[in-house]
């Protein structure tokens, strides 16, 4: 029963990651960003990072406690592709995360909302990261079916 539970937690974490990244992309628009949206983006970002950690931890649990064993996973190039894409997407999330906090702090100090250029830049990174994340399941379905070994 362990394998299905590990798969369930990993897929659920991954879906959470996609949902909260998509919510950020939806809210981070020049025409929608206002003083109420900035703290929401920060809250979404916290949840996104929790989901990101859950994806990593549940994936590692599948590698080490899953039915195929860690040696099988680590020897497969598709796992390394998934991890590379994961790391690239996580690195892309760092810039927007920092920007949201700067925007919140600036707004709390009586400052103005971010410029259109700042908003578009943050959204662009979020969108790029979500598109990178969208490729990971493709590698995953081939990996679990034994391809790349």
Whether the predicted pLDDT of 60 surpasses 90: yes
Whether the predicted pLDDT of 9 surpasses 90: yes
Whether the predicted pLDDT of 41 surpasses 90: yes
Whether the predicted pLDDT of 95 surpasses 90: yes
Structure tokens at 58: 């549940």
User: Is the entire prediction scored with pTM above 0.75?
Assistant: yes
pLDDT at position 120 is: 95
- Segment 47-72 shows an average pLDDT of 93
- Segment 105-114 shows an average pLDDT of 92
């Amino acid at each position: 029963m362990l394998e299905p539970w590990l798969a369930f937690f990993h897929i659920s974490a991954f879906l959470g990651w996609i949902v909260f990244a998509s919510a950020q992309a939806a809210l981070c628009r020049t025409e929608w960003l206002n003083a109420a949206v900035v703290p929401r983006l920060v809250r979404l970002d916290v949840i996104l990072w929790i989901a990101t950690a859950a994806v990593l931890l549940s994936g590692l649990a599948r590698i080490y406690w899953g039915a195929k064993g860690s040696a099988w996973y680590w020897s497969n190039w598709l796992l390394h592709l998934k991890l590379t894409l994961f790391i690239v997407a996580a690195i892309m999330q760092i810039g927007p995360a920092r920007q949201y906090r700067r925007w919140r702090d600036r707004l709390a100090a009586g400052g103005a909302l971010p410029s259109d250029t700042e908003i578009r830049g943050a959204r662009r990174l979020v969108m790029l990261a979500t598109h990178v994340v969208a490729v990971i399941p493709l590698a995953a379905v081939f990996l679990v079916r034994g391809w790349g070994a």
